[in-house]
Homo-oligomer: A and B are copies of this chain.
Amino acid sequence: MTNEKIPYKIYLEEKEIPKQWYNVRADMKNKPAPLLNPGTLKPMTFEELRGVFCDELVRQELNDTDAWIDIPEEIQQFYKMYRPAPLIRAYCLEEKLKTPAKIYYKFEGNNTSGSHKLNSAIAQAYYAKQQGLKGVTTETGAGQWGTALSMACSYFDLDCRVYMVKVSYEQKPFRREVMRTYGAQVTPSPSDTTEVGRKILQEHPGTSGSLGCAISEAVEAATTREGYRYVLGSVLNQVLLHQSVIGLETKAALDKYGVVPDIIIGCAGGGSNLGGLISPFMGEVLRGEKQYRFIAVEPASCPSFTRGKFAYDFCDTGMVCPLAKMYTLGSNFIPSANHAGGLRYHGMSSTLSQLYADGYMEARSVEQTAVFAAAEQFARVEGILPAPESSHAIRVAIDEALKCKETGEEKTIVFGLTGTGYFDMVAYEKFHNGEMNDYIPTDEDLQQGFDRIPQVF
């Protein structure tokens, strides 16, 4: 049943945890377009950005030339608490599917935040502490980023204020308590605690919120309070940089056993996991050393890559943030109450957007019930209860493995299992009870969002 040479779980040794992050932008010929000041339409400068983000994080955000950035010792220490994360050979899933494909997944759920988000949270909290700040503000969708940031802030004794997308706040009542356990203050968004929140509530009473709204509130809360900065769990270049530990460990584990992947799959909301997972492999492709297929998987209800426009747009609904060039559905796009809260973002990482535009990546959108069917199938054979977000990648990994079954090809498939679904049981319950719908926006729905994209080139 098993190949004796490759264990079920490949654990690197502690000393093999990366000591540097890899910055894929350094190897890109077409760099991701810079953030623009919405007033002047000129690239945001260090001075402009430092009012919102910590200084060192701004430097990382703007750095598209250094391929390797040292990971500070304190962050390395923290990584040792929950890393290296295992790369797991899905022997049981392969057997169940009767596929000749070899399936591996990088499991990032073995920490209390339940996801990969902790990799960047601890970095951002560290730099905030280094700068002598009192605290940070942020938004959270599924609650994984908020939990991760709470843990990181608790470790460095920083104040942490989280704006949580209202639909997730309501669907995941216990997420709030986890964040409180780590000392964070959690507010459902949109809220009446910020000017932008009050405005959104007035325009869209009864809205279930979106990441775009929550970002606006968190930015306002940071910039109107002394000693605070805003931090973000995805989309930004700095986040993809920190998340490169996922890909670096994955590559090191595969290299150890001489395994070369054919297809690398990740779910994509803002791009933090996908970008982190693929970055060292993408680097090889960009340098002309190797060839891989990369597949980004997004919900059909929020299809930024597959149906969005590649254009400069606001990162937030309130239009208080800079403009980023990305695949976008428009900053006022509020997706249906899709359960994968972490994938409900209207935009996409600029870095991944550029790579997609340049033909280095594929993208696929999948429907919710098919995602939960894959999640349940996976849970029953592999034991791990996956997060809905992660299950988007599982869906496509299974689909690709089934194609191999038809063709007889022994492809090697690697996907990112970003986290666990312990706080997503309301969604699983709906799935079990046949109450889950597969809402897909119409072209008219999308046009409303596109109409709001500013005309910038």
Contact = CB atoms under 8 A, between A and B. Distances in A.
A429 interface: yes
B420 A380 contact: no
Nearest to A422: B422
A173 B429 CA distance: 10
A425 B174 contact: yes
Contacts of A155: 92, 380-381, 383
A384 B151 CA distance: 10
A366 to B, nearest CB: 19
B177 A432 contact: yes
A127 interface: no
A428 interface: yes
Interface in A1-17: 1-2, 7-9, 11, 13-14
A432 B180 contact: yes
A378 to B, nearest CB: 10
A142 to B, nearest CB: 14
Nearest to A113: B383
Nearest to A122: B383
Given A80-B9, A92-B81, A380 B112 contact: no
Contacts of A174: 174, 422-423, 425-426, 429
A110 B7 CA distance: 17
A182 interface: yes
A106 to B, nearest CB: 15
B385 A428 contact: no
A77 B2 contact: yes
A376 interface: yes
A154 interface: yes
Contacts of A428: 177-178, 180-181
A151 B380 CA distance: 7
A383 B151 contact: yes
Nearest to A177: B425
A27 interface: no
A117 to B, nearest CB: 13
A162 B310 CA distance: 52
A183 interface: yes
A382 interface: yes
Contact of A81 (B13, B112, B383): B383
A111 interface: yes
Nearest to A73: B1
A255 B421 CA distance: 36
Interface in A83-127: 92, 110-112, 114
B112 A384 contact: yes
Copies of this protein in the complex: 2
A432 B181 contact: yes
A177 B384 CA distance: 14
Contacts of A81: 8, 92, 382-383
A379 interface: yes
Given A77-B2, A422-B423, A385 B181 contact: yes
A82 interface: yes
A383 B112 contact: yes
B77 A1 contact: yes
B181 A420 contact: no
A7 B77 CA distance: 11
Contacts of A92: 81, 155
Contact of A429 (B80, B112, B177, B422): B177
Choose among A77, A422, A423 the residue with the greatest number of B CB atoms under 10 Å from its CB: A422
Interface in A39-89: 77, 80-82
Nearest to A420: B112
Contacts of A423: 174, 422
A429 B177 CA distance: 6
A173 to B, nearest CB: 8
Given A112-B420, A180-B429, A422-B422, 5 more contacts: A9-B14, A81-B382, A154-B380, A155-B380, A178-B428
3 shortest interchain CB distances as A-B pairs: A174-B425, A422-B422, A177-B425
22 contacts: A2-B77, A7-B13, A7-B80, A8-B81, A9-B80, A81-B382, A81-B383, A111-B384, A112-B379, A155-B380, A174-B422, A174-B429, A177-B425, A177-B428, A178-B422, A178-B425, A180-B428, A181-B376, A181-B380, A181-B385, A181-B428, A182-B379
